[in-house]
Structure 1
């Protein structure tokens, strides 16, 4: 039986009220995953940074613990060494990446807010991985344009993670597809956007969710149609789409 419009609206409303980013409909099931598989294996620095970030007024922006675990394993599986992160916040996903890379690995990390990054920096330094990070404060698009113009960065990144302004995701993709190597991976975060991608037009969504929803939908359509990549969209955290460059 197809869900009624009222049922869809109620479901969309529940997604907004959940205190975590998981799209699992059962909070108990999500808590089971965290307590059984994620928290017991979470490195102590990541736990410290997660708990520190939880006290920040914008803590909804952080990467969820299960997604951090996923990114850490993915980077190890693909033997990533040269990576980029657009959108850092306090650095939870950045720390997950830094811990996964070899000692001579590098991360170009960009965010418009250095203050948030510096909140988590002492934890990153204590973990002994700060030397892997080259942090740049400011908009990312001009930096990407400079890198493309320079020519020497084409196809040099093993992995790129994007968790930033959703209205620029397509602008990022147009540039990042040139910078990631063939066989490399770009990960776009929040591609299921609080579950709003399937909410009816009149669903009672929060203003910021409603504002960015169309941009996320546009990105999802564009990635699905891009012949230069293979994609896999996963319901981890708030949704992450992995794009493997094939040409």
Structure 2
């Protein structure tokens, strides 16, 4: 009987250690999911996402996975979500701030009608050109107006021209988190009433609820306070309705109402 008790105790301890290992592993995974387990996230991908992922997006996802900065990419489930959202709101004229290799950009381009347009801005054209051949092969490059450099000066020029006010149906922001509110102050004039602005990474690796002294990667700690401040500010903005979703690393949707 004593041997059985010891065996059960050893088994329980082994299971606890395995659970701890799984939790640690999940906190380090690159897909940026905030779900409680890798297995649950994998189920979503294999059941609902990968079977419906367009071949060009799969190709670009595979290319991006080999890039040293691949943590910056939009997750496949978020790409699917953006595609569905764009179709639901019948978006035609859109903007993307922060492009990287272009996975979310390709999702947008494929979702837009043939005459749809995307103003895409990023400070690194080299990363964009990594995905450009795939975008061209998909037959949607004509929808994209890519501009290399900081987005704020471009937005300032656009805001000065009243013709640009209310001209965008949808904007997706996945760029420098310390400028999210600066982007918002300009984009609120450029997106139409009823239009949507999506801000990525607003749950920031889950760090938004972590104690200040919790162990974090340097870049996570650096931007954490900016993300917290943005979340607080956007929640108090009466010009938009908001919905914060635990998709990818957190996406906040803002529907302009005034």
**What range is the shorter-chain TM-score in?**
over 0.9
Note closer, same or farther for the CA distance 1:223–1:193 as it changes in structure 2 (3 Å cut).
same
Cross-structure match for 1:125: 136
Greater shift, 14-23 or 197-206, is seen at 14-23
Cross-structure match for 1:233: 244
Partners of 2:111 and 2:211 lie apart in 1 by: 40
Cross-structure match for 2:203: 192
Partners of 1:69 and 1:120 lie apart in 2 by: 18
Partners of 1:206 and 1:48 lie apart in 2 by: 29
Counterpart check, 1:138 vs 2:155: no
Alpha-carbon distance, 1:202 to partner? 1.0
Cross-structure match for 1:18: 29
Matched residue of 1:241: which SS? strand
Greater shift, 29-38 or 149-158, is seen at 149-158
Task: Give unpaired runs (5+ residues) of structure 2.
Answer: 1-20
2:26 touches 2:38 (CA, 8 Å); kept in 1? no
1:85 touches 1:109 (CA, 8 Å); kept in 2? yes
Q: Aligned to 1:216, which of 215, 227, 231?
A: 227
Cross-structure match for 2:216: 205
Task: Give unpaired runs (5+ residues) of structure 1.
Answer: 1-9
The count of residues paired between Structure 1 and Structure 2 equals 238
- Tell me the TM-score normalised to structure 1 length: 0.94
Note closer, same or farther for the CA distance 1:200–1:129 as it changes in structure 2 (3 Å cut).
same
Cross-structure match for 1:4: none
2:26 touches 2:37 (CA, 8 Å); kept in 1? no
Alpha-carbon distance, 1:20 to partner? 1.6
Alpha-carbon distance, 1:16 to partner? 4.0
Counterpart check, 1:47 vs 2:58: yes
Cross-structure match for 1:170: 181
Task: Provide, for residues 137-196 of structure 1, a one-character-per-residue CA deviation record: whole Å limited to 9, x for no partner.
Answer: 000000000001122100000000000000000000000000000000000000000000
Cross-structure match for 1:76: 87
Q: Aligned to 2:75, which of 64, 75, 86?
A: 64
| RMSD, matched Cα | 1.4
Partners of 1:201 and 1:25 lie apart in 2 by: 22
Partners of 1:116 and 1:174 lie apart in 2 by: 27
Larger-Rg structure: 2
Note closer, same or farther for the CA distance 1:11–1:246 as it changes in structure 2 (3 Å cut).
farther
Name which structure has the greater RCO, CA cutoff 8 Å, separation 6+. Answer: 1
Counterpart check, 1:98 vs 2:91: no
Note closer, same or farther for the CA distance 1:201–1:13 as it changes in structure 2 (3 Å cut).
farther
Q: Aligned to 2:124, which of 103, 107, 113?
A: 113
Partners of 2:192 and 2:254 lie apart in 1 by: 12
